[in-house]
Amino acid sequence: MVYLDYSATSPLLKEARAAMISAMDLIGNPSALHTPGHQAMNKIEEAREEVAKLINASPDEIIFTSGGSESNNTITNIFAGESVAVSAIEHPSMLESAKTRSKTTLIPVDETGKIDQKNYAKILEQKVPKLVSIMLVNNEIGTIEDVEALAKLAHDSGAVFHTDATQALGKIPIDVKKINVDYMTISAHKIGGPVGIGALFVKKGSPFTPLIIGGHQEHGKRAGTYQVVNISGFGAAAKYVSTRNTPLLYKEKVLPLRNLLAEQILTNIPYSSINTPLDCSAPNILNCSFEAAEGESIQLYLDAKGDIIVSTGSACASGDGKPSHVIMATRHDAEIAHSSVRFSLGLETTTADVAKVMTTLPEIIKNLQGISTLKAGNIKKEDSYYA
Amino acid sequence: MPKSPLSNHHANQSKAKLKVKPETQQKTAESGFSAGTDWIYTDSVKEHFLNPRNFLMGDESKYHADGQGIVGNPICGDQMLMLIQIDKNTDTITDVKWKTYGCASAIASTSALSELAKGRTLDDALTISAEEITSYLGGLPKHKFHCSVLGHEALASAIQDYRKKQSS
């Protein structure tokens, strides 16, 4: 199998698996004062230190949650009823929860997915949001936002700043002190940890209201019995990222493969275009569109004919009947969004994997374009690639 | 912002180095699926998706159609074109070709419809419903039914097109 869906979830690292299996033998509730409880709590605090170290935070600034969605929901819950501004390309767990809980202004992005500076300044000035949330790396097209500068502007206007760094963790260096954010969402399973565990960085002194109440865990900031096994797995994955310096590995090993795949697709597949801004994006994400071919069909043919695993921004695969809001926000074209495919590479991805894609994909696209009612070539050339 | 080395590169036909025969579309997938467990679709949908019947590859103007109809909207993600040939003496559909832009269930349901329609009289073909197509495929996920099973409307439109031409 050629697995190119690492941004959806990553295989469990053997280090994380070992830590989890070991933690399964811990019988005590970490909140208990007896010896087994204390032993379990030690594991949690070890993991917390590793996670904190990964983003240059203090351990007491880390709250374990059930994952990125809970972390994002925790943020919107703190600012429920307040004026909130979030980027138009946030993950649905931020977009939908913000819209549900608050009067929310969407900050538009340009064709690369970068925040539109003029509109951002206007929103800060006119809407006076209490909270601004802009993701560090977009999950669909990989755009890296200039969070340090954006956070400064938010702070200057009196707002606090949250960033969803779920797709950035382990892929690019992260330093919460340098970029000076007030809150940050991260998740374990994007870095080879288990699904069902994530964290929220809360800078000391930042406003906080727990989303889940009814327990004193996490100093009253997140009720619920500690998930010792998952937290141990997260800690081990975090340690792996720190000790191996995976952002450097991604830059040296994965980025050239990602760019090779982009170049080969553009060269060899008629009417293809790249939705990812290659010079300002995470090193492992490549989002492409193929005119007149539909994304779910591309995805399933790649699976069936090449054992190649990718994801798509097509409405047909989304479950809610809508095409990717990210591609719609950047390229403003439903056909382009329906035809988008995300290749997300990992440290295990090889040149042979890229070659396998290129022996399979061109034929699939040619055939889908051949039986399509749409004529490829209708999308204006100048609108078709941004970087 | 500095342009990347790939800026404004747009793949075009002249750069293509493809040597693909259309019939390769009809090859059976070599990497198999466990029956009914790996996809949300039934085996029958998978079969019609992976080996679609009666599709038209390329320019439809090269196919002589006695009637044709199109339905759907690419903005919504699905569009089907049905082309039919008719035996005027028996009022029977002798050949069906189709083109589809859409997801796996759109392709599979149009393929299934082409099998269902061939050999039927026009009046009989007009009775083909979305339910009949879905049933022929062994069912479709609920959220796929309304958006992707549209081919029968394109077929009805093709029959109408043929009858209109006959009467004029």
- Residue closest to B87 by CA, chosen among B114, B57, B120: B120
- For CA atoms A15, A16, A17, A21, the dihedral sign is positive
Q: Which of A210, A244, A278 is the last residue of a domain?
A: A244
According to the model, what pLDDT value does residue B12 have?
38
Asked whether residue A158 falls in the same domain as residue A57, the answer is: yes
The C-alpha atoms of residue A53 and residue B55 are separated, in whole angstroms, by 57
Nearest-CA residue of chain B relative to A281?
B4
Q: Look up the CATH number of the domain holding residue A367.
A: 3.90.1150.10
Q: HSE on the CB side for A380, CA within 13 Å?
A: 6
Q: Do the Cβ atoms of B11 and A296 come within 8 Å?
A: no
Measured between CA atoms, the residue of chain B closest to residue A300 is B104
Which segments of chain B have a pLDDT < 50? 1-36
Mean pLDDT of chain A: 95
Q: In chain B, what residues touch A269 (CB-CB under 8 Å)?
A: 11, 16
Closest CA of chain B from A14, distance in Å: 25
CA–CA dist B7, A278 (Å, integer): 9
Closest CA to A238 of A211, A284, A198: A198
Task: Give the model's pLDDT for residue B142.
Answer: 77
Domain extent at residue B93: 39-167
How many structural domains compose chain A? 2
- Residue A377 and residue A271 in contact, taking contact as beta carbons nearer than 8 Å: yes
Q: What is the pLDDT of residue A317?
A: 64
**Domain annotation covers residue B92:** yes
Task: Pull the structure tokens for residue A250.
Answer: 């991604």
Residue A362 within a domain: yes
Identify the closest residue of chain B to A265 by CA–CA distance: B11
**pLDDT for A246 beyond 50:** yes
Contact A31, A210 (CB under 8 A): no
> Is residue A387 within 8 angstroms of chain B, CB to CB?
yes
pLDDT at position A127: 86
Do residues A173 and A307 share a domain?
no
Beta strand extents in chain A (DSSP E only): 2-3, 62-65, 83-87, 103-107, 131-133, 160-164, 183-187, 198-202, 272-274, 285-290, 308-309, 311-312, 340-344
Distance CA A54, CA A56 (A): 6
- Residue B130: strand, helix, or coil: helix
Q: From the candidates A212, A300, A316, A374, give the one annotated as an active-site residue.
A: A316
Specify the CATH number for the domain of residue A127.
3.40.640.10
Query: What per-residue confidence (pLDDT) applies to A384?
Result: 44
Tell me the HSE value of A1 on the side-chain side, using a 13 A CA sphere: 10
Question: So what's the pLDDT on residue B69?
Answer: 97
Mean per-residue pLDDT, A274-287: 98
Q: How confident is the model over A61-66, as a mean pLDDT?
A: 98
DSSP string covering A195-246: TT-EEEEE-TT-----SS-SS-HHHHTS-S---HHHHHHHHHHHHHHHHHTH
The shortest CB-CB distance from B10 to any of A259, A374, A385 is to A385
* pLDDT value, residue B145: 75
Distance between CA atoms of residues A32 and A217, nearest Å:
11
Measure the CA–CA gap between A55 and A67, rounded to whole angstroms: 16
Instruction: Give the model's pLDDT for residue A387.
Output: 30
For residue A165, what are its two tokens?
Answer: 């760094």
pTM: 0.90
pLDDT of residue A379: 59
Q: Domain ends where: A190, A217, A244?
A: A244
Residue B10 and residue A273: Cβ atoms within 8 Å? yes
User: Angle at which helices A117-126 and A147-156 pack, to 10 degrees?
Assistant: 20
Give B-chain residues touching A265 at CB under 8 angstroms. Answer: 11
Band of residue A308 on the pLDDT scale cut at 50, 70, 90 = very high
Q: Is residue A9 part of a domain?
A: no
Interface check for A321 against chain B (CB to CB < 8 A): the answer is yes
Dist CA A265 CA A284 (whole Å): 16
Residue B69 forms part of a structural domain: yes
Rg of chain B, C-alpha, whole Å: 18
Partner B, chain A 271-290, Cβ-Cβ below 8 Å:
271-274, 277-280
Size of interface A-B (CB pairs under 8 A): 153
Angle at A89 between CA A268 and CA A346, to 5 degrees: 50
What are A69's two structure tokens? 């969605």
- Chain A residue numbers touching B57 (CB-CB < 8 A): 367, 370-371
Which residue of chain A comes nearest to B56, CA vs CA? A371
Segments forming the whole domain that contains residue A63: 14-244
The pLDDT of residue A111 is above 90: yes
How far is residue A297 from each of residues A208, A372, B20, B48, measured CA to CA in Å? Answer: 45, 11, 18, 12
Number of H helices, E strands in chain A: 16, 13
Q: Can you give the pLDDT at residue B144?
A: 78
| CATH label of the domain that carries residue B80 | 3.90.1010.10
β-pairing, A2-3 vs A308-309, is: parallel
Nearest chain A residue (CA) to B55: A371
Give the strand pairing for A340-344 and A308-309: unpaired
Q: Which of A274, A316, A370 sits opposite B58 (nearest CB)?
A: A370
Residue A379, domain member (yes or no): no
Same domain (yes/no): A215, A71: yes
B40–chain A nearest CA distance, Å: 11
pLDDT band, very low/low/confident/very high, at A287 (cuts 50, 70, 90):
very high
Of the residues A228, A244, A260, which one is the last residue of a structural domain?
A244
Q: How far is B97 from chain A (nearest CA, A)?
A: 10
Instruction: Find the largest Cα–Cα distance for chain B.
Output: 68
Looking at the 3D structure of chain B, how many domains does it have?
1
DSSP designation for B143: H
Q: In whole angstroms, what separates CA A215 from the centre of its chain?
A: 29
* Residue A312 host element (H or E): strand A311-312
Question: What mean pLDDT comes out for the span A67-78?
Answer: 98
Amino acid at A55: I
pLDDT of residue A26: 95
Q: Residue type at B98?
A: W
* Each residue's pLDDT tens digit, A75-106: 999 999 999 999 999 999 999 999 999 999 99
Q: Is residue A108 part of a domain?
A: yes
The DSSP result for A238-286, as a single string, is: HHHHHHHTHHHHIIIIIHHHHHHHHHHHHHHSTTEEE-S-TTSB-TTEE
Residue A380 falls within a domain, yes or no? no
* Nearby residues of B21 by Cβ (< 8 Å), 6 or more positions away: none
- pLDDT reported for residue B165: 95
Instruction: Report if residue B43 sits inside a domain.
Output: yes
Do the beta carbons of residue B69 and residue B161 sit within 8 Å? Answer: yes
Distance (Å) from the alpha carbon of A160 to chain B's nearest alpha carbon: 28
Do A271 and A182 share a domain, yes or no?
A: no
Q: Is residue B56 part of a domain?
A: yes
Instruction: Report the distance separating Cα A313 and Cα A339, nearest Å.
Output: 7
* Pair A133, A25 in one domain: yes
Residues A128 and A35 in one domain: yes
Nearest to B70 among A280, A370, A373 (CB): A373
